[in-house]
Amino acid sequence: MDTEDMKPVEAIYSLGISHNKFGLPLPDGTTYPEWATNYSGERALEFITHFDRVRDRDWEQCSFLDLGCSEGSTTFELSQMGSVVFGVEGREDGICRANVIRSVLGSENTHFSVGNIDDEASYRKVDGVFNAGVLYHLEDPLACLKRTAESARLFVYLDTGHAPRSETEQQNSKFVANFGNRYTLDYEGLELDVVDFAEPKNKSEVQGDGLRRGPRSGIGNDNSVWLSHDSAIALMAKLGFPFHETIKEYPHIPRLRTVFFRTEPRPTTFDGKYTWPLPETLPRNEAIRRTCQRDIEFLRGTGHPVIVLGRGSLLSIIGGELRDAGVQVSEMVVLPDMPVSKGMMNQLTKDKSGFIVLAVDDVVKMARNVGILNRFDYVFTSFALARK
């Protein structure tokens, strides 16, 4: 990417509130979003490690498809061997963020588009498909896996929730209240075990009560269908991927990561060293310190007032430090000393807008609650994170 096409890191302040729990390192040593809970790049490394076992051409000649790419974190991580990666996402604001981050990173071999995973046009012929965190939000997972298999020349990475394998597993699931009817579906004579899963009832993306639909929920449906793990394996075999390995399991959901190969894979040899690595991820404390500094410089430079939202001494400390740094504080909103639901946050911030600074201990949860609202331009969490 030409230098003149690249954007400064400060471009992130135009992106609204991120909904991504997977963080990404930026060129200035900070991360986006700074309050994300996962910066490991673990799934991309798993994908590349296992794809390498059937790879039959140079990395630069390989192409991948990232289904439900959100804001592009994993899309960028998948590109670190020089392969071309296409990210498709059903929510336009996610793609807007991905494209800005692309310009900040100068990533030439990642490409993003808005598209519904239920739409055949969202798929393309590639060497490998990354299908993670999306299948279990669909009403028709069979169609998605069929298109995934048709798109992938060599390899599929599947990370998804599965129908519980026993009554005990279902009762121990964090989503036990969401599970519904258990039944079978037929796919060309193959009997597949599935269970209904309740998505949010209000299917509108923009909702009349001041909230938006959860950005990590399904799009346009109030029910999704979860395949059992055995059924997913059987279906993928029928679709041309007879070799598989289950590489990780989270029984409290239940959720499993499984890799599928069209041909028998070789032993693992990838050494984890990327040809075109992303910027270095600094130690957490240093990344947050740099974020605080950048946030102060941005707010002071623009003169944009902020609303500080928080509790107790942290509210007064952060509010005071912002004023001392030359940042205009327009209002201090006191949160009750109890868990604050999305609905309560909606009422407390009604008729407010602009930039918001969080001064709370439970900063990750509160950032997500603020993000579900349709009224704020950006949320600053670095000042609270610096005190954790």
By mean pLDDT, which of 78-92, 130-144, 267-281, 368-382 is the weakest? 368-382
- CA–CA dist 384, 388 (Å, integer): 7
Residue, of 21 and 134, whose pLDDT is higher: 134
Q: Please report, rounded to a whole number, the percentage of residues in the chain having pLDDT higher than 70.
A: 98
Beta-carbon contacts of 349 under 8 Å, excluding residues fewer than 6 positions away, are 307, 309, 333, 356, 370, 373, 375, 376
Token pair 């609270």 is at which residue? 384
What type of residue is 365?
K
Summarize pLDDT for 138-171 with one digit per residue, the tens: 999 999 999 999 999 999 999 999 999 999 999 9
pTM: 0.95
| Residue 170 CA, distance from chain mean position | 25
To the nearest whole percent, how much of the chain has pLDDT over 90? 85
What is the residue-wise DSSP string for 237-282? HHTT--EEEEEEEETTTTEEEEEEESSPPPPP---S--SSPPPP--
Which secondary structure element, helix H or strand E, spans residue 144, and what is its range?
Answer: helix 141-151
Residue with tokens 């519980």: 164
Q: Where are the alpha helices (DSSP H) in 215-374?
A: 229-238, 284-302, 312-324, 342-348, 363-371
Taking residue 298's Cβ as centre, other Cβ atoms within 10 Å add up to: 18
Residue 208 has a pLDDT of 72
Model pLDDT, residue 215: 81
Cα–Cα distance between 155 and 265 in angstroms, integer?
Answer: 10
Average pLDDT over residues 66-75: 96
